[in-house]
Every structure is written in structure tokens, then in C-alpha cells.
């Protein structure tokens, strides 16, 4: 059974604070979600009671620390239904997860091979590939979108050829809220023996993720967008790829033996985890998973869906507004523009009214270019948001319109 | 002719009558509207201040030891802020601009706009205006 909204909200201390003398309305969840007390406590408990480096000490604390860290890996593995813990690499976020693949995977490729990413990607799923392509003489191809913000699958099919070596695609667009048909894309790619990397930054807190069902080859996400700590991310990779791929960074933990005649590397997943990880944050990630599972991910998704439909309908009613992205089958990210009002102006005044939202290009400049705009305003919801908050936001938006009229 | 200090004191005094943030922002927007028309031809990439969410253009002219600025923005609040800077700094000598104290921004209550995360270009505008002053100083006032 889904807990009451109040029971969810009461777990988030920050929601009690005021901003600019107004009650905080936090609608910037696409950038990062707030943290429940369980996550906050797990971080501080770690430093109070367990702090010690992992995987290398025989002493009590190090052993306890390592057990807790590896238990977190187990929770992530179960959370996304990976086959083995070896497929769970801890990173510092989605960006690093994608950079890891972009650097390491492309070292297996030949000059003239190509990689495909889509027009709606966050810069984190574009720039790492540009860097890798430039360094290795690869071509970066763009999967285009339709004017209603959906991936153009026909065009995607037309740019795949026998030199295509990977497709990188967002599960959910951070601007449009589009939910991409990953299983269809994976089926198309796999029929051509092409692996698929899914940028799950915007989906992991909203949809049940089952990597076995999606059958994607890589899945990247950040803890901080799913109620966890900043500086912790995950790269899921199929073992067959991770085994083939060379290490991404060198250092401690990722080696088996080191000598100046040659170094041998550790087994998976440690081969890709050089240096001391964010142990406290990683342990806190299992608390974030527990928080989401206690409510039920499907329940979270359902509530957010209701909030999204409500907000979309009310915004449409308001008039003189441009909404971006699909109308149906979309996530709880809403990008819009008030006609003749710069998003920066509106965002500045809404901030004064206690509302945290995002304005700007949302790290998706190629997508802005597609729509011929310099930016949008974006609201994005999480498990703790309410209809009342949306009502207050709409009222505030109305005031903003009056100020600029 | 007033100097930078007097002009910035005057603006800070104008702002001090507002205790409501909304009135203050309405006033900033009004100040923006007082800017002279900025021709589209001047809205070129070379006049654009980088690092802002809104587009801001600033140009400068040197006449008889004084620098005169002009500018515009596609966002009204940013335009108002640009207008305040232009009012305060225009007419000053390069040296005055290079050495000017921008603490009046604090007194107006616009300090939050100085934070690098705001990306509204206030920092970028000040930096660009000071760069103009340095450039004009070296071009017109350096004794060779």
C-alpha cells in the first residue's frame, strides 16, 4: 500500500524550510531530488561509526566498511535486476559512467567506425562521445527527433550501417520528458549486433528499471537523482562487454599486481574502480533504494503521472504558453515557455515566490537549436510533490504574467 | 557632472525606498526600459557577454577621456541590471572604471545576482566593461 503523501514529505527535512520568506516549492527534481532522512542519516552514521577504507584492511572497521559497501552493490544489482554484482560499477555519476564507456569501449573500435546518439541527449551523452570520436577517428551520427519530441525510429534505422558500433540513448529526455522505446531500439540495434548504452539519469527515480528486460548493454545513472547522495553513480554493463573493455583509470584497487615490467588488472567490477570510492554515499544509495521500494516505484510513477497530467492541463488552459515534448507517454518533466516572457525573468521572480525550477538550455543545446529557442522553463516532479504545490505554482506563474504584461 | 560614487549612491538611494522585492524588480524592469534603443546590427556575437542564460550585448565608445556604454538584453531583468551598470559607469574615465568599487550592487540588494551560479551576466557585464576600460586606457592614454 502506498504511504500517505504527508508520511513521504515528513521524511524530507528540507521541505520544511523557507526560501525568500516563502515555503519552499521544489520543482527542480530533474536536476537533483531532495534527500530523505534515512539517506542523510546513513551518510553521517558511516562517518560516525564505520569510516575506514574499503577492500584493503584486515582490521575490523575496514572489514565492516567493505561489507556495507559490497552490500550496496548487491542492493543496486537487485534494484535494476542485473545478473551479477560484477556488472555493477560504482562511479561518481551518470556523466562518469558514460565517459567510462566512451573512453574504454571505443578503444576496441577501428578508425572509420561510427557511434550514434540522439538529438535529445543531455550534453553528458554527447560530449564524451565527441571527445572519444575525435581521439580515435570515429564518426558521431545523430538520431533525429520529430517535432513532437519523439525519436524518429525510421531515421535511426537509416543511419545504422555495418560500421555502427554503439547507440547511446536517453531513457527519458531531461527536457521533453519523452520516454524512449528502449526495447524497440535495443531489438533494432541487436539485430545488427550493435550494443546500446542507456542514459538512465532521468528514468531511474520514476520507472521500474529491469536491465535484463530492457536487454540494454549499458545503463548509467546517478544516485542523487533518485533521493541518494551526490557524487555516486552506477554503470551497469553486460559482463561480456566489461570483460573485453580495458580499464578506464589507473590507480589503487583496480590492479592485481603492479611492477615496472607490467601490471595485471583486478577482476570485475574492481577493474573499473580505481581509487577510494565515495563509500558513505554508496552505502547511502542502498537507503535511497529502500526509500523508493518502501513507497513502491510503480506508486511513485503513478503519482507523478497524475501531477504531470494535472499541470499539463492547467498550463494549457492558461494560454499564451508553448509546451515542449509529447502529450502522452511522458515522464514528469515539463518544459514550457510563456509567450513574450524570457524564462530567466520568470524564473527569477518565481524564485522570489519560493519556487525552485530550472531555466535555461538544460545542458541540451542541440535540442534547443532544433526547436529554435534559447532555453525553456522546466518543472519536474518527485514523490513528495503535491497538487497544492502545483496550484501555488500556477497562481505564482499567473502573477509573473501580470508583472510582464 | 557626477562621478561613479555619486551616481551609484543615487541609484542605491532610489532602491532604498522599496522594501518589497516585487516593487524592486518592477523598478529594475522600468530602468531597463529607459535604455536607448540598441540597434539590431550591434547585437552581434562579438558584443555578446558569454555565460548568461539571457543574451546581453554591451558596446563602448571612448570620447575625450570618457567611456560611454550602450547595451541591451532579451530578458527584462537582465536589461534593467545592464541599464543600472551603464548609468553608473558611462561618462567615467578608464581609470575610474578600472578602479571602481561595485559595492553599490550590494546596497541595492542585488548581491544575489553576483553569485556565479545566477548566470545572469552581472559578473560578465562588469568584467567586460572593465576590459573595455583597460583597452581604451592602453590605446589612448599610454605614454609611449
ipTM reported for the complex, 2 dp:
0.88
- C-alpha to C-alpha distance for B72 and B79, rounded to whole angstroms: 6
Please tell me the predicted confidence (pLDDT) of residue B143.
62
B30–chain A Cβ distance below 8 A for any pair: no
| CB-based contact B75 A359, cutoff 8 Å | no
pLDDT at residue B114 is higher than 70: no
**B22 at A interface, C-beta within 8 A:** yes
- Cβ-based contacts of A344 with chain B (< 8 Å): 53-54, 75, 77-78, 120
Share of chain A above pLDDT 90, in %: 92
What Cα–Cα distance (Å) separates residue A300 from each residue in A2, A21, A309, B42, B72?
Answer: 9, 30, 14, 50, 45
Interface contact B77-A374, CB threshold 8 A: no
For residue A306, the number of C-alpha atoms closer than 13 Å in the C-beta half-sphere is 11
Residue in A closest to B73 by C-alpha? A342
Name, in order, each residue with C-beta under 8 angstroms of A370's C-beta and a sequence gap of 6 or more: A119, A145
B76 → closest Cβ in A345, A352, A360: A345
Residue B78: its chain A contacts at CB < 8 A? 342, 344-345
CB A26 within 8 A of CB A34: yes
Which of the pair, A255 or A153, is modelled with greater confidence? Answer: A153
Q: Report the pLDDT value the prediction gives residue A56, as an integer from 0 to 100.
A: 78
Work out the mean pLDDT of chain B and round it to a whole number.
87
Residues B54 and B121: beta-carbon distance below 8 Å: yes
Give the gyration radius of chain A's Cα atoms.
Answer: 22
In the predicted model, what is the mean pLDDT of residues A106-132?
98
Please name the residue of chain A whose CA is at the shortest distance from the CA of residue B52.
Answer: A360
DSSP state of A215: -
Quickly state the pLDDT bin for B118 (edges 50, 70, 90).
low
Closest-approach residue (CA) in chain B for A359: B53
Q: What pairing do the DSSP bridges indicate for beta strands A262-265 and A255-259?
A: antiparallel
DSSP A290-320: HHHHHH-HHHHHHHHHHHHHHHHHHHHHH-S
Is A348 in CB contact (< 8 Å) with chain B?
Answer: yes
Grid cell, residue A120, equals 535529445
Counting every residue written for chain B, the total comes to 144
pLDDT class of B110 with cuts at 50, 70, 90: confident
Query: What residues of chain B lie within 8 A of the CB of A359, using their CB?
Result: 53
pLDDT of residue A186: 98
- Residue A184 cell numbers, joined: 524497440
**Strands A114-118 and A164-170, bridge-based pairing:** parallel
Nearest CA in chain A to B30: A404
Classified by CATH at the fold level, domain B4-141 comes out as Sufe protein. Chain: A (3.90.1010)
d(CA A196, CA A180): 13
Q: What is the DSSP string of A92-140?
A: SSHHHHHHHHHHHHHTTS-TT-EEEEETT--GGGTHHHHHHHHHHT-EE
User: Do β-strands B56-63 and B66-73 pair in parallel, antiparallel, or remain unpaired?
Assistant: antiparallel
Residue A249 has pLDDT above 90, yes or no: yes
User: What is the residue whose three cell numbers read 514529505?
Assistant: A9
Residue A150, CB half-sphere, CA atoms under 13 Å: how many?
11
- Per the CB < 8 A criterion, the answer to whether A186 and A219 are in contact is no
Q: Which one is predicted more confidently, B120 or A225? A: A225
Q: Rounded to the nearest 5°, which phi and psi values hold at A114? A: -135, 155
* A:B CB pairs within 8 Å: 40
CATH of A5-30+297-404, one of 1.10.357.10, 3.90.1150.10, 3.60.15.10, 3.30.565.10: 3.90.1150.10
Q: Using the predicted structure, report yes or no on whether residue A23 has a pLDDT greater than 70.
A: yes
CB contact under 8 A, B76 and A375: no
**Do A5-30+297-404 and A40-293 fold alike per CATH?**
no
CATH number of the A40-293 domain: 3.40.640.10
Q: Is B6 on the interface with A (CB under 8 A)?
A: no
Q: Where are the beta strands (DSSP E) in A160-286?
A: 164-170, 196-199, 218-222, 233-237, 255-259, 262-265
Mean pLDDT lowest for which of A59-63, A255-259, B130-134?
Answer: A255-259
Is the pLDDT assigned to residue B117 strictly greater than 60? no
Q: What residue in B sits closest to A342 (Cα-Cα)?
A: B75
The partner residue sitting opposite B53, judged by closest CB among A20, A360, A403, is A360
E strand intervals along B5-141? 56-63, 66-73
CA distance A39 to A228: 6
Of the candidates A29, A1, A4, A119, the residue with the CA atom closest to the CA atom of residue A308: A29
- Which site among A28, A32, A348, A354 would you substitute to test the B interface, given the most B Cβ atoms closer than 10 Å to its Cβ? A348
Mean pLDDT rounded to a whole number for chain A: 96
β pairing state of A25-26 and A355-356: parallel
- Give the pairing of strands A233-237 and A88-91: antiparallel
- What's the gap in Å between the CA of A345 and the closest CA on chain B? 6
Give all strands (DSSP E) within A182-310, no chain letters.
196-199, 218-222, 233-237, 255-259, 262-265
> Of the listed B4, B11, B31, B52, which one is catalytic?
B52
Q: In B, which residues are within 8 Å of A338 by CB distance?
A: none
Residues 6+ apart with CB under 8 A from A132: A102, A103, A106, A115, A138
- Note whether A171 and A198 are within 8 A (CB): yes
**Dist. CA A54–CA A276, nearest whole Å:** 8
Which residue of B77, B118, B119 is the best one to mutate when testing the A interface, meaning the one whose CB has the most A CBs within 10 A? B77
pLDDT over 60 (residue B119)? no
Least confident residue range of A81-95, B8-22, B62-76: B8-22
Domain chopping of chain A, boundaries:
5-30+297-404, 40-293
The predicted pLDDT at position B101 comes to 83
Among candidate residues B48, A275, A19, the one with its CA nearest the CA of residue A27? A19
B52 classed as catalytic: yes
Amino acid at each position: 500500500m502506498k504511504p500517505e503523501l504527508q508520511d513521504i514529505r515528513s521524511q524530507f527535512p528540507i521541505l520544511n524550510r523557507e526560501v525568500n520568506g516563502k515555503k519552499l516549492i521544489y520543482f527542480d527534481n530533474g536536476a537533483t531530488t531532495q534527500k530523505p532522512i534515512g539517506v542523510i542519516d546513513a551518510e553521517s552514521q558511516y562517518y560516525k561509526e564505520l569510516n575506514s577504507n574499503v577492500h584493503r584492511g584486515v582490521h575490523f572497521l575496514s572489514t565492516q566498511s567493505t561489507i556495507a559497501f559490497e552490500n550496496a552493490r548487491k542492493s543496486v544489482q537487485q534494484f535494476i535486476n542485473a545478473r551479477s554484482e560484477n556488472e555493477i560499477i560504482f562511479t561518481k555519476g551518470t556523466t562518469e559512467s558514460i565517459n567510462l564507456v566512451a573512453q574504454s569501449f571505443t578503444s576496441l573500435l577501428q578508425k572509420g567506425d561510427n557511434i550514434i546518439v540522439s538529438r535529445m541527449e543531455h550534453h553528458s551523452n554527447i560530449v564524451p562521445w565527441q571527445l572519444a570520436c575525435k581521439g580515435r577517428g570515429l564518426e558521431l551520427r545523430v538520431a533525429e527527433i520529430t517535432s513532437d519530441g519523439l525519436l524518429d525510429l525510421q531515421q535511426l534505422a537509416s543511419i545504422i550501417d555495418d560500421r555502427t558500433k554503439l547507440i547511446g540513448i536517453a531513457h527519458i529526455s531531461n527536457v521533453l520528458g519523452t520516454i524512449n522505446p528502449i526495447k524497440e531500439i535495443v531489438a533494432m540495434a541487436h539485430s545488427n549486433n550493435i550494443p546500446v548504452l542507456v542514459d538512465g539519469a532521468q528514468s531511474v527515480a520514476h520507472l521500474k528499471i529491469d536491465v535484463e528486460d530492457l536487454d540494454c548493454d549499458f545503463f548509467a545513472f546517478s544516485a542523487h537523482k533518485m533521493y541518494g547522495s551526490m557524487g555516486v553513480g552506477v554503470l551497469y554493463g553486460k559482463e561480456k562487454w566489461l570483460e573485453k573493455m580495458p580499464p578506464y583509470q589507473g590507480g589503487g584497487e583496480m590492479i592485481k599486481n603492479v611492477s615496472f615490467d607490467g601490471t595485471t588488472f583486478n577482476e570485475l567490477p574492481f577493474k573499473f574502480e580505481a581509487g577510494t570510492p565515495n563509500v558513505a554515499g554508496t552505502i547511502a544509495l542502498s537507503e535511497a533504494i529502500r526509500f523508493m521500494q518502501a513507497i513502491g516505484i510503480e506508486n511513485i510513477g503513478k503519482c507523478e503521472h497524475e501531477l504531470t497530467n494535472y499541470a499539463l492541463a492547467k498550463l494549457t488552459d492558461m494560454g499564451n504558453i508553448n509546451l515542449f515534448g509529447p502529450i502522452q507517454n511522458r515522464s514528469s518533466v515539463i518544459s514550457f515557455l510563456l509567450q513574450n516572457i524570457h524564462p530567466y525573468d520568470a524564473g527569477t521572480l518565481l524564485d522570489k515566490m519560493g519556487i525552485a525550477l530550472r531555466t535555461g538550455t538544460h545542458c541540451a543545446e542541440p535540442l534547443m537549436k532544433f526547436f529554435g529557442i534559447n532555453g525553456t522553463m522546466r518543472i519536474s516532479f518527485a514523490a513528495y510533490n503535491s497538487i497544492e504545490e502545483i496550484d501555488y505554482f500556477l497562481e505564482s506563474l499567473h502573477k509573473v504574467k501580470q508583472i510582464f504584461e | 557632472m557626477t562621478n561613479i560614487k555619486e551616481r551609484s549612491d543615487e541609484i542605491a538611494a532610489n532602491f532604498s525606498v522599496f522594501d518589497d522585492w516585487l516593487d524592486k524588480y518592477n523598478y529594475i524592469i522600468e530602468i531597463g526600459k529607459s535604455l536607448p534603443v540598441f540597434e539590431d546590427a550591434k547585437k552581434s556575437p562579438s558584443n555578446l557577454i558569454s555565460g548568461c542564460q539571457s543574451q546581453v550585448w554591451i558596446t563602448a565608445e571612448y570620447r575625450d577621456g570618457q567611456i560611454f556604454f550602450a547595451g541591451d538584453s532579451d530578458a527584462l531583468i537582465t536589461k534593467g541590471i545592464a541599464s543600472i551598470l551603464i548609468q553608473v559607469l558611462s561618462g567615467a574615465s578608464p581609470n575610474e572604471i578600472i578602479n571602481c568599487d561595485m559595492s553599490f550592487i550590494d546596497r541595492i540588494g542585488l548581491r544575489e545576482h553576483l553569485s556565479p551560479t545566477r548566470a545572469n551576466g552581472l559578473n560578465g557585464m562588469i568584467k567586460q566593461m572593465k576590459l573595455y576600460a583597460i583597452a581604451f586606457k592602453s590605446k589612448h592614454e599610454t605614454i609611449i
